[in-house]
């Protein structure tokens, strides 16, 4: 297939790579051109000067940028995807953005006689690199069936969960789960250190029991080593939790733990950790303990 891919960040870069490596003809666009050049040197394929050029002639156009306004800019802005989109194509948004934006884009894309799916992902940088992401999809079943085989070049699970917007709502459920788990890990590790245990040894044992989680498996070593320059950025998590809390308020549901951890993430940002991995909640806890000890 001829495929356009917009946004070669931590996630988009390897995802587009899997598409090209599996035999599709991929034309990438990245705002910072050097990254697109590096991608072409690594995988082959082609690069485009604008999102419109990446979309021109493509049967599928994937977008994986930052937030709602970034998606609007690359899809609806000057030289955006809509300016190059061919009829009967499908635009798939892998960005974690709002359900409201998904509905808005469904309309905009339909005006080009094309279709839209919201398809946020989970599984992190490692999932993108290993082609093992989980994808939550919103949109029409027939359109999903056209795109599903292509999604499996970088996903171990891709499932349609309802009409457009459902993918983004499901991703919110995912983020609520992760938020509580990560704060739980930060508190558990802080407790373990405080009572004088060898936390690495403790985790080697408890990861084989009921406390096991993706976050524990993939983050305990870096958390205990104080390494956060990787993974899923706190800035992105705050963006996601902002959408979660807004949606929860809209439906009249209180999310006390999620609200509290969102507040903790604001403190991590104030520590200079906006680009740190979300497991840096542990760095915040360690700082709180040092303050308490003084
Ligand atoms: N990282 C993860 O573990 C993870 C996991 C699940 C979901 N996500 C979600 O996936 C999306 C991408 O995350 P990421 O970690 O790949 O982010 P990232 O590394 O910060 O990359 C963002 C990409 O979007 C581009 N971009 C941002 N704003 C733009 C704009 N206004 N116009 C054009 N291009 C723009 C950036 O271009 P430049 O190169 O020019 O900056 C870059 O290619 C986010 O919505 C995030 O919440 C991330």
7 and 138 in a single domain? The answer is: yes
112 and 256 in a single domain? The answer is: no
Of 144, 163, 182, the residue at which a domain comes to its end is 163
Please report the atom of ligand 1 found closest to the CA of residue 7. 43
Distance (angstroms) between ligand 1 centre and the Cα of 65 equals 4
Ligand 1 site, residue 5, Cβ cutoff 6 A: no
The 10s digit of each residue's pLDDT in 12-58 is 999 999 999 999 999 999 999 999 999 999 999 999 999 999 999 99
> In the annotation, is 194 catalytic?
no
Q: Of residues 156, 171, 194, 291, which has the active-site annotation?
A: 171
Please report the atom of ligand 1 found closest to the CA of residue 35. 39
Mutate to test the pocket of ligand 1, among 14, 55, 66 (most ligand atoms within 8 A of CB): 66
* pLDDT computed for residue 54 by the predictor: 98
What CA–CA distances, in Å, run from 13 to 38, 85, 229, 252, 290? 10, 22, 17, 38, 39
- CA dist., res. 240 & res. 199, Å (int): 30
Ligand 1 site, residue 51, Cβ cutoff 6 A: no
Give the mean pLDDT of the chain.
97
Residues 6+ apart with CB under 8 A from 165: 99, 100, 102, 103, 118, 138
Q: Where are the alpha helices (DSSP H) in 111-233?
A: 124-129, 141-151, 166-194, 199-206, 214-224
* pLDDT computed for residue 26 by the predictor: 98
131 and 146 in a single domain? The answer is: yes
**b/e sequence 113-136, b meaning 16+ C-beta within 10 Å:** ebbbbbbbbbbbbebbbebebbbb
258 and 116 in a single domain? The answer is: no
- Closest CA to ligand 1's atom 24: 65
- Domain coverage including residue 95: 2-163
179 and 141 in a single domain? The answer is: no
Distance (angstroms) between ligand 1 centre and the Cα of 236 equals 9
Of 142, 163, 184, the residue at which a domain comes to its end is 163
Ligand 1 site, residue 125, Cβ cutoff 6 A: yes
61 and 155 in a single domain? The answer is: yes
Question: Helix axis angle, 234-251 relative to 256-270, nearest 10°?
Answer: 150
The Cβ of residue 278 has, within 10 Å, a number of other Cβ atoms equal to 26
Length of the chain: 294
Ligand 1 site, residue 228, Cβ cutoff 6 A: no
- The tally of CA atoms less than 13 A away on the side-chain side of residue 115 is 19
For the stretch 45-48, contacts whose Cβ atoms lie closer than 8 Å and that sit 24 or more positions apart, written own/partner, are 45/16, 45/20, 48/4
- CA dist., res. 131 & res. 13, Å (int): 12
9 and 126 in a single domain? The answer is: yes
* pLDDT computed for residue 170 by the predictor: 98
Contact 226, 283 (CB under 8 A): yes
pTM value > 0.75: yes
Ligand 1 site, residue 9, Cβ cutoff 6 A: yes
Helix (H, G, I), strand (E, B) or coil at 155: strand
Helix (H, G, I), strand (E, B) or coil at 137: strand
192 and 280 in a single domain? The answer is: yes
Q: Which residue has the higher pLDDT, 217 or 290?
A: 217
Average pLDDT over residues 66-78: 97
* pLDDT computed for residue 293 by the predictor: 84
Predicted confidence (pLDDT) at residue 285 exceeds the cutoff of 90 = yes
The 10s digit of each residue's pLDDT in 249-279 is 999 999 999 999 999 999 999 999 999 999 9
Residue 28 phi, psi (nearest 5):
-100, 150
Mutate to test the pocket of ligand 1, among 236, 241, 243 (most ligand atoms within 8 A of CB): 236
Of 163, 178, 200, the residue at which a domain comes to its end is 163
Distance (angstroms) between ligand 1 centre and the Cα of 96 equals 9
Distance (angstroms) between ligand 1 centre and the Cα of 4 equals 16
The 10s digit of each residue's pLDDT in 183-215 is 999 999 999 999 999 999 999 999 999 999 999
Ligand 1 site, residue 121, Cβ cutoff 6 A: yes
Predicted confidence (pLDDT) at residue 289 exceeds the cutoff of 90 = no
Ligand 1 site, residue 37, Cβ cutoff 6 A: no
180 and 156 in a single domain? The answer is: no
CATH code, 140? 3.40.50.720
Distance (angstroms) between ligand 1 centre and the Cα of 191 equals 34
21 and 79 in a single domain? The answer is: yes
Ligand 1 site, residue 126, Cβ cutoff 6 A: no
Distance (angstroms) between ligand 1 centre and the Cα of 141 equals 27
Predicted confidence (pLDDT) at residue 76 exceeds the cutoff of 90 = yes
Count up the domains in the chain and report the number.
2
56 and 186 in a single domain? The answer is: no
* pLDDT computed for residue 294 by the predictor: 81
103 and 126 in a single domain? The answer is: yes
The 10s digit of each residue's pLDDT in 113-158 is 999 999 999 998 999 999 999 999 999 999 999 999 999 999 999 9
- CA dist., res. 245 & res. 231, Å (int): 23
CATH code, 287? 1.10.1040.10
Distance (angstroms) between ligand 1 centre and the Cα of 63 equals 9
């Amino acid at each position: 297939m001829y495929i356009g891919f917009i946004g070669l960040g931590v996630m988009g870069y390897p995802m587009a790579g899997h598409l090209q490596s599996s035999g599709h003809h991929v034309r990438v666009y990245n705002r910072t051109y050097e990254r697109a050049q590096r991608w072409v040197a690594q995988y082959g394929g082609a690069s485009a000067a604008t999102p419109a050029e990446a979309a021109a002639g493509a049967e599928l156009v994937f977008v994986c940028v930052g937030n709602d306004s970034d998606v609007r800019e690359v899809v609806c802005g000057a030289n955006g995807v809509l300016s190059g989109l061919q009829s009967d194509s499908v635009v798939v948004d892998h960005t974690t953005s709002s359900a409201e934006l998904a509905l808005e884009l469904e309309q905009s894309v339909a005006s080009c006689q094309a279709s839209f799916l919201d398809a946020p992902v989970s599984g992190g940088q490692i999932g993108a690199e290993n082609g093992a992401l989980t994808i939550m999809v919103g949109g029409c079943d027939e359109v999903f069936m056209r795109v599903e085989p292509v999604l499996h070049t970088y996903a171990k699970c891709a499932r349609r969960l309802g009409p457009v917007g459902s993918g983004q709502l499901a991703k919110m459920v995912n983020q609520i789960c992760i938020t509580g788990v990560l704060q739980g890990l930060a508190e558990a590790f802080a407790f373990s250190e405080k009572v004088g245990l060898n936390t690495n040894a403790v985790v080697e044992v408890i990861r084989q029991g009921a406390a096991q989680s993706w976050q524990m498996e993939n983050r305990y070593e870096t958390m205990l080593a104080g390494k956060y320059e990787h993974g899923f950025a706190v800035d992105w998590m705050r963006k996601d939790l902002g959408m979660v809390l807004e949606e929860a308020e809209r439906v009249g549901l209180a999310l006390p733990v999620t609200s509290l951890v969102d507040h903790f993430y604001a403190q991590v940002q104030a520590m200079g950790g906006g680009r740190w991995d979300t497991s840096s909640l542990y760095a915040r806890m360690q700082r709180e303990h040092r303050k308490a000890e003084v």
